[in-house]
Structure 1
Amino acid sequence: MSYGLGTFMLSSLLPFFLHTVSALNVPPSFENVAVVRTIELGGSSVHVTTSISARSLANNNAKYFFVLSKEQDDLTKWIEARPFVYYSVNIPDTLGVNETITLLVNTIEAHATTPLPATAKQTGAYVLSPYASLSQRTKLRSPSPTIHSYSEPSSLSSYASNVPVTKSGAVVTYGPFQNIPPSADKAFFNNVQEIVKIHYVYDQPILTVSSLRRTAEISHWGDNLNIQDDIKLLNDGARLEGQFSRIDYQRQNFFQKGGSSILPGFTIQLPAGARDPYFTDIVGNVSTSRFRPAPPKSNGKGASDRNSILEVKPRYPLIGGWNYTFRLGWDAPLGESTLYIAAIPFFTHIPGSVVDDAEVKIILPEGATDSNVYVPFAVDELYRGTHGRPSIILKKRGLTVKHTGLIYVSYSLSLTAHLNKVAAVASASFILFAIGLVLRRTDTTIHRSI
């Protein structure tokens, strides 16, 4: 597996705000007292948490700059920016001289690992910062204590008073490093920053949803929200050598020695109240799934706190390097919670996967006007179209589990629009009745001429 640093999503005890800026000359208004970066290694995604304790060196300090390299930025999908990427954190209460603040920065990185046979790499041992740091430490935590190898660059000792690299169980620690000068400049990155590598065990399938197309159709007459996903799922794990043998696969499962990188199935969570799920592929209906429904959530007492569970088993086991294209859908009641405001899940997360490319199409009721859409994060494209009825299309690349938020769509629907379908059905029924009446009164018998 391989690892590389990425951009950061902000989470803190205080309501900080994160913005991308293009400044290269940052005033030395802070000093990092202690920086600890913890990296949770995994499959298709890697979680990074950076804890920063900073001391203000100036009065009325209200902005802290956080820096990423271009490689770090490219690997993470939560915040998109370009090289060296400066993020300014707006602090609600300004700081005076020698006042301290603690920031907790989280990121999820997509495709930051590579299955072996290829090694894994980590961008740098040092945390980039425009400020001097009294202490820095980087911890890499493997899913398993079995770590085959990790790099030990000798030059790291220039800022370390003790052994610069240590291993304890499943954790490899680089540092602590002391008295590091401002490192967010090209000279430090090219001459001092060290590339480190770690080779660890990850015995699960590495899943990527290379394409996801979601259609959400709202129907007031049916009191129904229909969700339909067209998904292309890829196992990015080690590729199969030779030909696949189902006999060997069944024998391995019987002796509980199945390949750990093979995906026989997966479980996803659907909203409470989901009903009538369907699972099809290019061949047709796939009956090897199991659905455990949960009652719908209500606005009053007794609201359900459970999700519906759908256990999905593809038509064939998904081996490393293989694709599986399928369609998944279900219905859900609109209920009283959707009075012209609909909550649409952006996508349904397949455990352990990332989504490379997603499109969500929301089909509104016929006659809907004044529609507005509210997304939980920035999207790449948002435009309106028609699908026989007004629709809203959203596109986004690079989705992780943190992107499983709700899209809120508000719209107006007049009484006339409500009655249009009644009028259309009544008109069609009247026309059919009139045609039948005329046909009954018309003599269609063929008479024989004498």
Structure 2
Amino acid sequence: MYKIILTILCLTYVTALERVNNQLVIKNVERSIDLTSQLVKIAATITLENTGKDTVRNFLIVQEPNIVGAVAYLSAKDSLKDDLKIIPVGVENESGKSFRNVLLKQPLDSGRTTTVVLEEVLTQSLVPYPSSISQKEKQLVRYFGNHYFYTPYVTTKQKTEISLSSRTVENYTKLKPVAQSDSSLTYGPYTNIAPFTEDQMIIHFENNAPFLTVTRLERLIEISHWGNIAIEENIEIRHTGAKLKGPFSRYDYQRDTGSNHHSIKSYRTILPASAHSIYYRDSNGNISTSTVRPRKDWIELELRPRFPLFGGWKSSYTLGYSVPSYQYLFKQPSGEYVLIMRLIDHVFDDMFVEELESSIVLPVGVSNVKINAPYEVERLSDGVTYKYFDNIGRTVIRLRKTNLVEQHIQDIEVIYNWTPHLLLHEPVLLSIALFLLFIVVIIYVRLDFSLTKPEHSKKD
């Protein structure tokens, strides 16, 4: 019975999709594709027109099958820059197309138009070619895309602007009209494009931007109601650009003073302005170089690994600091406590994090823990840890997410119940421990455990 109901719902939804496709027409699309870093950033300004008789409250977007796993971030905004809700449809046809439903803030009446801006960030979409280069060679990459905006609707007109990181372009597909100007390419305008039109775009160009990937990030947030929140990050990084071919020469490397090089000498991390007690070390200790520069609204921390990173090379390090709890921990009128803190913070510019595991250590005695995340995260099984003088244990909330970029730097809310008298838990245990220690010392001093009596006691 359940399968029959599910089939009916799917058929009903597919019919609705066909009806919406017939009503909506895309009058114009202006795409900008940013290829200046290791990420592919696509922004599309879409002008929708309702040519049907019924009011439209949503429209569909679809991702090409070859980029579904590469999409790290997807958002939609209206002309007022308000966020629009995106709901996965969960219905894929035989060709593997994945649909999403975008809900409009204002219903689109018949004959009216509206503007929506879609933003996508793709990871691992720039392929080094050749895959291995020598120390002195420049890094070349290839981008595989679509000349047309991929959509289930008829598109009247569209144009694409592509920003490159260099003027050096080996070759690119030439679907006319196309023009190159310095480090940019312009495709179009193209007119009267049928739904689901595909035409492969290939661009082969020089890109020496840092292809630095965080393969794993373990972030620990430890909350204390005594006024401090301690944060520690264990980070594993790898250069995912073209691999180094041949030996590495330190002499040639030091002679090369050019800044446009595919190796990674250093990068900067942004910390909160209130961060203090900052420490940084790698697996061999604090030998690597770090520089702290306080700014007005943040702290800039420049990290320089003990050796430059070439393609295929990797490193790991630990970064920790503390922040005052009053900036992130709040008490609601209902008596609940709310921690508002970023699930992930800035690691480096144009960052790509393959896997994040964030652990939040709550105070002793919390209950009714709830999580409000800005996006979908996987909640792992809760753990328990013991700190100084803990005989009860502290709850550890463990969260996991993969394929993260800078747009995922958003606040997560952790809501829990806690009673203030538990602040006395550790001081009382410490007092009891000291009291027992003093009693033992007093007893030990007072008692005589010798087997023979002193000489002066014998004379008496």
TM-score (norm 2): 0.81
Tell me the residue number matched to 2:360: 362
State the Cα distance separating 1:181 from its structure 2 match: 2.1
Query: In angstroms, what is the RMSD of aligned CA positions?
Result: 2.3
Q: Structure 2 CA distance, aligned partners of 1:323 and 1:44? A: 17
Tell me the residue number matched to 1:230: 234
Q: Structure 2 CA distance, aligned partners of 1:125 and 1:116? A: 21
Please point out which of 124, 129, 148 is paired with 1:111: 124
Please point out which of 339, 344, 362 is paired with 1:342: 339
State the Cα distance separating 1:287 from its structure 2 match: 5.2
Residues 23 and 216 of structure 1: CA distance in aligned 2, closer, same or farther (over 3 Å):
farther
Structure 2 SS opposite 1:65: strand
State the Cα distance separating 1:345 from its structure 2 match: 2.1
Tell me the residue number matched to 1:145: 167
Deviations 1:230-251 (A, max 9, x none): 1111111222222223233223
Residues 448 and 437 of structure 1: CA distance in aligned 2, closer, same or farther (over 3 Å):
closer
> 1:72·1:123 contact (CA, 8 Å) conserved in 2?
no
> 2:214·2:352 contact (CA, 8 Å) conserved in 1?
yes
For residues 317-356 of structure 1, what are the structure 2 equivalents within 5 Å? Answer: 317-335=308-326, 337-339=328-330, 340-349=337-346, 350-356=348-354
Q: Structure 2 CA distance, aligned partners of 1:150 and 1:77? A: 25
Q: Structure 2 CA distance, aligned partners of 1:286 and 1:375? A: 37
Q: Structure 2 CA distance, aligned partners of 1:405 and 1:329? A: 19
> 2:36·2:163 contact (CA, 8 Å) conserved in 1?
no
Structure 2 SS opposite 1:365: strand
Q: Structure 1 CA distance, aligned partners of 2:401 and 2:190? A: 39
For residues 416-427 of structure 1, what are the structure 2 equivalents within 5 Å? Answer: 416-427=421-432
State the Cα distance separating 1:34 from its structure 2 match: 0.8
State the Cα distance separating 1:416 from its structure 2 match: 3.5
Please point out which of 157, 164, 170 is paired with 2:177: 164
Q: Structure 1 CA distance, aligned partners of 2:453 and 2:362? A: 58
Residues 77 and 287 of structure 1: CA distance in aligned 2, closer, same or farther (over 3 Å):
closer
Q: Does 1:273 align with 2:254?
A: no
Tell me the residue number matched to 1:7: none
Matched residue type, 1:49 = A
Residues 54 and 278 of structure 1: CA distance in aligned 2, closer, same or farther (over 3 Å):
same
Tell me the residue number matched to 2:77: none
What stretches of structure 2 of length at least 5 have no aligned partner? 1-11, 75-87, 132-140, 331-336, 387-393
Matched residue type, 1:369 = S
Residues 436 and 292 of structure 1: CA distance in aligned 2, closer, same or farther (over 3 Å):
farther
> 1:133·1:178 contact (CA, 8 Å) conserved in 2?
yes
Q: Structure 2 CA distance, aligned partners of 1:96 and 1:205? A: 47
Q: Structure 1 CA distance, aligned partners of 2:315 and 2:120? A: 29
Tell me the residue number matched to 1:261: 262
Q: Structure 1 CA distance, aligned partners of 2:424 and 2:366? A: 13
Q: Which moved more, 1:163-172 or 1:130-139?
A: 163-172
Matched residue type, 1:435 = V
Q: Does 1:442 align with 2:447?
A: yes
Residues 130 and 316 of structure 1: CA distance in aligned 2, closer, same or farther (over 3 Å):
same
For residues 15-414 of structure 1, what are the structure 2 equivalents within 5 Å? Answer: 23=14, 25-27=17-19, 28-58=22-52, 59-79=54-74, 83-117=96-130, 119-152=141-174, 156=175, 163-183=176-196, 188=197, 193-221=198-226, 223-252=227-256, 256-257=257-258, 260-286=261-287, 288-293=289-294, 306-335=297-326, 337-339=328-330, 340-349=337-346, 350-388=348-386, 389-414=394-419
Matched residue type, 1:106 = E
Deviations 1:272-298 (A, max 9, x none): 11011111111112351112346xxxx
Q: Structure 2 CA distance, aligned partners of 1:209 and 1:330? A: 19
Identify the structure with the greater strand proportion: 2
TM-score (norm 1): 0.83
State the Cα distance separating 1:140 from its structure 2 match: 1.7
Deviations 1:84-138 (A, max 9, x none): 1212121122222210011110111111102231551323111122211111222
Structure 2 SS opposite 1:347: coil
What stretches of structure 1 of length at least 5 have no aligned partner? 1-20, 157-162, 295-304
Q: Structure 1 CA distance, aligned partners of 2:179 and 2:294? A: 48
Matched residue type, 1:447 = T
State the Cα distance separating 1:411 from its structure 2 match: 1.9
Residues 290 and 428 of structure 1: CA distance in aligned 2, closer, same or farther (over 3 Å):
same
Residues 408 and 442 of structure 1: CA distance in aligned 2, closer, same or farther (over 3 Å):
same
Q: Structure 2 CA distance, aligned partners of 1:396 and 1:233? A: 17
Aligned residues: percent identity?
28
State the Cα distance separating 1:173 from its structure 2 match: 2.0
> 1:273·1:293 contact (CA, 8 Å) conserved in 2?
no
> 2:288·2:305 contact (CA, 8 Å) conserved in 1?
no
Residues 23 and 403 of structure 1: CA distance in aligned 2, closer, same or farther (over 3 Å):
farther
Q: Structure 2 CA distance, aligned partners of 1:347 and 1:32? A: 37
> 1:166·1:173 contact (CA, 8 Å) conserved in 2?
yes
Q: Structure 2 CA distance, aligned partners of 1:413 and 1:293? A: 35
State the Cα distance separating 1:333 from its structure 2 match: 1.4
Q: Which has the larger radius of gyration?
A: 2
State the Cα distance separating 1:380 from its structure 2 match: 3.1
State the Cα distance separating 1:76 from its structure 2 match: 0.8
> 1:227·1:329 contact (CA, 8 Å) conserved in 2?
yes
State the Cα distance separating 1:448 from its structure 2 match: 6.9
Q: Structure 1 CA distance, aligned partners of 2:276 and 2:27? A: 54
Q: Structure 2 CA distance, aligned partners of 1:207 and 1:287? A: 18
Q: Structure 2 CA distance, aligned partners of 1:210 and 1:72? A: 20
Q: Which moved more, 1:164-173 or 1:392-401?
A: 164-173
Deviations 1:338-390 (A, max 9, x none): 23322332223221320001100000011122222221211133442222310
Q: Structure 1 CA distance, aligned partners of 2:51 and 2:70? A: 33
> 1:380·1:397 contact (CA, 8 Å) conserved in 2?
no
Structure 2 SS opposite 1:315: coil
Structure 2 SS opposite 1:439: helix
